[in-house]
Structure 1
Amino acid sequence: MFYVLEVDTRTMHILGITAHPTAAWTTQLARNLLTDLGQRAAGLRYLLRDRDSKYTQAFDAVFIADGIEILKTPPQKKPRG
């Protein structure tokens, strides 16, 4: 499931569900989100995301083009064992 949560309003946008997400799929969903939000997208300042390889430069560029800063979660250590 791919969703976006607006923290200030606690509005959740469920954008899509697939068993096999790809970089192209996530990038298209990012475009769809900003199109659906229209003028409301201007109020968004940050996108917090993890470091999954599905979030490529093309994905980030969709948000950066609208002036939204990308914040990535810190890298996670792999557990020993």
Structure 2
Amino acid sequence: MIASLVYRLLRQVLQMLTQLARDGGAKDVELLVLRHQVAVLRRQVHRPDLEPADRAVLAMLSRLLPRPYWSAFFVTPATLLRWHRELVARRWTYPHARTGRPPVDRRVRELVLRLAAENPSWGHRRIQGELVGLGFRVTPSSLRPSTRCSPPMAST
């Protein structure tokens, strides 16, 4: 993604440099053509599908353009500000640690289900005690939802 962003930024800078080299009349005509194309596309597409690199370029360009001219963007000024805040936040935040109880290992879960199926009269505390005896460290409350099974059927 970073390479894509750098490529697009470089491309935008080169396009801006070529715009500076053109004479004023050609720029005005090109602006009119581009504005008409944008108007046509706005009638056809209600919500554009932007990639993260597109959002970054628009957020960066919005910092260069004075706020009264933000009507040139096809998104609202609040959206541009939100994108810019997200870019800054992504740069200065770190991944958050998962909160809560860690998940039970898949093998332990399969063993718990097997013990519950083979011993329907055992409760979650008994199964937890058996697992402790086998060397697994699991709390009884983490077993409770996974060991619910139907009561033993009465034999006729």
Greater relative contact order (Cα 8 A, min sep 6): structure 1 or 2? Answer: 1
Structure having the higher strand fraction is 1
Structure having the higher helix fraction is 2
Which structure has the larger Rg over C-alpha atoms? 2
